[in-house]
Amino acid sequence: MNTGLSGRVVLVTGGAGGLGAAAASAFHDEGARVVLVDRDRERVTQVARDIGANCRPCELDLCVEADVEQTLGALQDELGHVAVLVHCAGIARGPDQMGPNGWLSMQDVSISDWQTVLTTNLTATFLINRTVARSMIAAGWGRIINVASMSALVANRGLSGLGPYAASKGGVISLSRVLAAEWAQHGITVNCISPGYMATSMGTRSQSIPGFRELQIDMNPQRRLGEPNEFANAAVYLASDGAAHVNGHNLVIDGGYTVW
Cα 116 to chain centroid, rounded:
17
* d(C-alpha 232, C-alpha 239), whole Å: 11
List of E strands, the chain? 9-13, 33-38, 55-59, 84-87, 98-99, 102-103, 142-147, 188-195, 250-253
Give 156-211 pLDDT, tens digit per residue.
887 888 899 999 999 999 999 999 999 999 999 999 999 999 998 766 666 666 77
- Specify the range with the lowest mean pLDDT, choosing from 116-125, 197-206, 243-252: 197-206
- Catalytically active residues, by annotation: 165
8-21 tens-digit pLDDT:
999 999 999 899 99
Is the pLDDT reported for residue 245 higher than 60? Answer: yes
**What is the arithmetic mean of pLDDT over 62-84?**
97
**In Å, how far from its chain's centre is CA 13?**
7
| pLDDT at residue 97 tops 80 | no
Residue 98 has a pLDDT of 56
Mean pLDDT of 101-124: 88
Mean pLDDT of 83-96: 85
Q: Write down the pLDDT at residue 260.
A: 86
pLDDT average, residue stretch 17-39: 97
Per-residue confidence band for 93, with pLDDT thresholds at 50, 70 and 90:
confident
Domain coordinates in residue numbering, the chain: 9-251
pLDDT of residue 96: 52
As a whole number of angstroms, the distance between CA 66 and CA 236 comes to 29
Phi-psi region of 196 (alpha: psi -120 to 50; beta: other; left: phi over 0): beta
What is residue 239's predicted lDDT score, i.e. its pLDDT? Answer: 98
Judge contact between 156 and 170, C-beta under 8 A. no
Q: Give the CATH superfamily of 9-251.
A: NAD(P)-binding Rossmann-like Domain (3.40.50.720)
143: helix, coil or strand? Answer: strand
Q: What's the pLDDT at 154?
A: 95
Residue-level pLDDT at 212: 75
